Structure 1
Amino acid sequence: MKRFMLLIPIIALFSCSTPPANVADIGVFNQATDIGKVKIKGSTVYNAETQTYTLTGSGTNIWGTSDEFQFARKKLGGDFIMTCMAHFKGEGVDPHRKMGLMFRSDLTGGSVYADAAIHGDGLTSLQYRPEANAETKEVKAELSAPDVIQLERQGDTIIMRAAKFGNLLQETGRVELQLPDTVYAGLFIGSHNPDVSETAVFENFRIDVPAADGVDGYQNLSPSRLELLDVETGHRKVIYTTNTHIEAPNWSRDGKFLLYNSDGKIIKFPLDTLNPQVLNTGVAQSCNNDHGISFNGTMLAVSSQTDLGDGKSGSIIYTIPIEGGDAFRVTDKAPSYWHGWSPDGKTLVYCAERNGNYDVYSIPATGGKEVRLTTAEGLDDGPEYSPDGKYIYFNSVRSGLMKIWRMKPDGSDQEQVSFGPYNDWFAHISPDGKRMVYVSYPPTVAPGNHPHNKRVMIQMQDTDSKESKVIAYLYGGQGTMNVPSWSPDGKRLAFVSFTYGDPEE
């Protein structure tokens, strides 16, 4: 569910000091060189197909009063977040070899800096040098050998977070450090031995510029990245970036295209040409991020802001042929936000506000009388059928947190199925019915709120289990994955991540 807004174009707040160079070689970075007087020259290689970086470097150490290492970087200003998955390649020589993420004031060996460092022996720490040529300090993490690291700058505050892939991202260190407004930021590796080189591989590297304080994501919409996620490995691939705001991809039943919404339109995105095309949705010209494809792949349901007369408007559900065409109005009352088709295509389920309360309703796909399925106080949202038609999954605040629940199609036997400290939204069931995925917000976000601009996670859970695991760590939220987005083979998901910077980074 979302309240409708007109798309407001924004100018990216992110800028770099020099135009990107050697993009084919080093991805988003401007430069990749050795820092300090290393004996063995290092290298940075970017694989455009897998969107991974391989860094090889030597050097005595990144410690003490001066450093030697390989550094792939670009200039960044203001507040931003860098996140990646990383691992050493090979057994290595020295247990104190280091790799990770770094902010640096200049390119001298004794520069002021902060980094999120993973050592060869698993030691993980937020390292920093408070003044030029001063001794390095560190905040050691309790976590050893994480797969995921994050380094964030909030003014003079530097924050490190880390996780084993599958676990929740945890803050492991925080320091105050005075850096210039524009810093060098990127990936590093050092061998801790001047006579050898070490290699590390970095994937899912993202630079995210968060919304400034007081920015309303509904009124100041962000640039976007359309991404595909391997649910087993967590590997992500950006397939499209835009400075306009896009949301909520559906994956077609034949696997050939995605559908997403942008500026009130439904956009068809063929996966062979990667060329966006506006879909004809008839009178439904103000579509929001609640839309989806029938199980047989022939019909599309959308939710579109509609003139109700007397100066009023609200979200109404329509159905449209999948190839585009005339829109058939299904619901009479507003607001109604579509979320699920029954497997036989005869019934739609949706979230609707009636008499001041948001609940789950069902209605025949041909229109008719709506049936209220939930009656709990507070928000019930995001209903979606399981592929076998036995359950409707939905999210509810009735436990005090936003959690995933399920019920029989007639509304009976309602039970909570997701647990843990986070607020979970929009469960989507895999094509074989064995797994579900959902977006999780940190507990600092109010349970009934799902804003655009937050550090969120995508979690996956077996439908017969209470245990979940994180499969993506991203900046997003509202619009990231509001609707069904599994690939037909159940191996991947489509989703959208956001940034107020350059979406290509």
Structure 2
Amino acid sequence: MTKISLFLICLLATAGAFGQHPVGIFDDHLDIGNPKMPGDATYDTASQVYMIKGGGANIWFNRDEFHFVYKKIKGDFILTADFEFTGDTAGAVGHRKIGWMIRQSTDEGAASANACKHIDGLVVLQWRPYRGMFMRDPEEERFYPKKGGQTIQLQRIGNVITMKIAHPGEPLQLVGSCMVDDLQKDVLAGLFICAHDSDKVAGARVWNVRIDKPVIHPYTSNPHVPPVVVHDVFASRVETIDIADGHRKVLGGFPGPVAPPPGDKPEYSPDKKYDYYSANVNGTTQIWRMRPDGSAKEQLTFDEYHNWFPHVSPDGKWLAFISYPMDIDPNAHPLYEEVMLRLMPLTTPGAARVIAYLYGGESTLHVHCWSPDSKQISLISNSEPAR
């Protein structure tokens, strides 16, 4: 073989290695299974919104056809985003689908787990346990009785994959879990779209896209198992959220966790008539308020969550706070946990609603987290460390 031939082979190999098409936080996007109608993906930096489109006959049996927007991830992670179909949906096949996918490779028959939202409202977790295996109905599926949903979450802890979904304002609901042994330590994870019709192209808008790396065992009493050092696990994002529609934007980040301010002091309302605080009186931590002299104590939240860090909007109309899951020590408020940012009206009747699902906690809401016009909240969320 001549030197020129060797040079050309090396040049082609190098071109292939750099032939990816990164979009937003993802490494690449491409069609899987060679669908008849090609797909695409774009990212708007200003709005931090992904627009994806794709063809494909199906994601099922022993091979798939769809468009995939993905990055390579190692270990445990939590994928969360908001999804909606776009474009001309008239006459669309009911099983047109969008969502999150974890996949071993770009092979059309790769082992995978898919959190699917269909255009007819069907919600399902489906998976292919091994490469080339025919997916079975209903053995490789977990159906959710409620239709539709906007926020989809797919979590991997070890080889256990869990899907959750929520309509705007409500807590995430469990769809189901599965075990996919053929998904190795390094996987491809990302957004997918499938028209479920070889002759059509489906479109979707995806926003509030977050990939989080959880701390599974931050503490252990076993002297032979070293504790996890949080600073070695986390990076942190600085974000803003619009309270009207829940749209979040990342403003920047830090290489480690952001330390919370010392103490958990009550917060005064703008008119100085009340102090807002968290207290565990009956086994769960709830939000309370009282007069500055300690009189007229009033409980404001009454649910199964542990609610911490109340912050009143400058116009006095809203109360923002962090809700921890039920299995947390009610007297603890760690900074490395799956939490909800919730909003409660103070001047009109109404229940608290979820405006963000995030990985954070103690450091998420700091003093003066509200914008002066009471329309946005700044927050800190934990994220995957930079490579």
**Deviation per residue, 1:398-456 (Å, 9 max, x gap):** 12111000111111010100121111001111111011000000011011100111100
- Partner residue of 1:113? 112
Which position in structure 1 is the counterpart of 2:187?
183
Residue 473 of structure 1 corresponds to 357
- The correspondence for 1:59, drawn from 56, 61, 85, is 56
Do structure 1's residue 491 and structure 2's residue 375 form an aligned pair?
Answer: yes
CA contact (8 A) 2:288 2:299 kept: yes
Cα deviation, residue 135, structure 1: 2.3
Match of 2:11 in 1: none
The 5 Å alignment of 1:119-268 reads 119-136=118-135, 137-178=140-181, 179-215=183-219, 220-221=230-231, 222-247=234-259
Alignment partners' CA distance in 2, 1:425 and 1:483: 13
Residue in structure 2 matched with residue 395 of structure 1 by the alignment: 278
Q: Aligned equivalents of 1:498 and 1:143: distance in 2?
A: 30
C-alpha contact (below 8 Å) 1:20/1:29 kept by paired residues: no
Give, in whole Å, the separation in 1 of the partners of 2:64 and 2:229.
Answer: 45
Give 1:323-362 correspondences, 5 Å limit: 337=263
Question: Which deviations, in whole Å up to 9, do the C-alpha atoms of 1:227-250 show, x marking residues without a partner?
Answer: 011111111100011213325xxx
Q: Does 1:72 align with 2:75?
A: no
Structure 2, unmatched stretches of 5+, are 1-16, 221-226
Does the aligned pair in 2 maintain the 1:225–1:503 contact within 8 Å? no
For the residues of structure 1 that align with 2:153 and 2:247, how far apart are their CA atoms?
16
- Aligned residue pairs total 355
Distance 2:214 2:85 in 1: 29
Provide Cα deviations, 1:375-407, integer angstroms capped at 9, x if missing partner: xxxxxx541111111111111001211100011
Change (3 A) 1:88 1:134: same
DSSP-derived class of the 2:109 partner: coil
TM-score (norm 1): 0.68
* Alignment RMSD (CA, Å): 1.9
How far, CA to CA, are the matches of 1:55 and 1:116 in structure 2? 16
1:63-102 aligned at under 5 Å gives the runs 63-92=60-89, 93-102=92-101
Of stretches 134-143 and 174-183 in structure 1, the one that deviates more from structure 2 is 134-143
Q: 2:323 aligned with 1:440, yes or no?
A: yes
Q: Sort the Cα spacing of 1:91 and 1:402 in 2 relative to 1 into closer, same or farther, 3 A.
A: farther
Post-superposition shift, 1:22? 4.7
Instruction: State the alpha-carbon separation in 2 of the partners of residues 225 and 171 from structure 1.
Output: 26
Aligned equivalents of 1:19, 1:50: Cα separation in 2: 27
Residues 384 and 418 of structure 1: CA distance in aligned 2, closer, same or farther (over 3 Å):
same
Q: What is the Cα deviation at residue 90 of structure 1?
A: 3.2
Cα distance in 2, alignment partners of residues 483 and 466 from structure 1: 25
Paired with 2:331 and 2:86, the residues of 1 have a C-alpha distance of 43
For 2:148 and 2:107, the matched residues in 1 are separated by 28
What is the alpha-carbon distance in structure 1 between the residues aligned to residue 115 and residue 292 of structure 2? 48
Amino acid paired to 2:362: Q
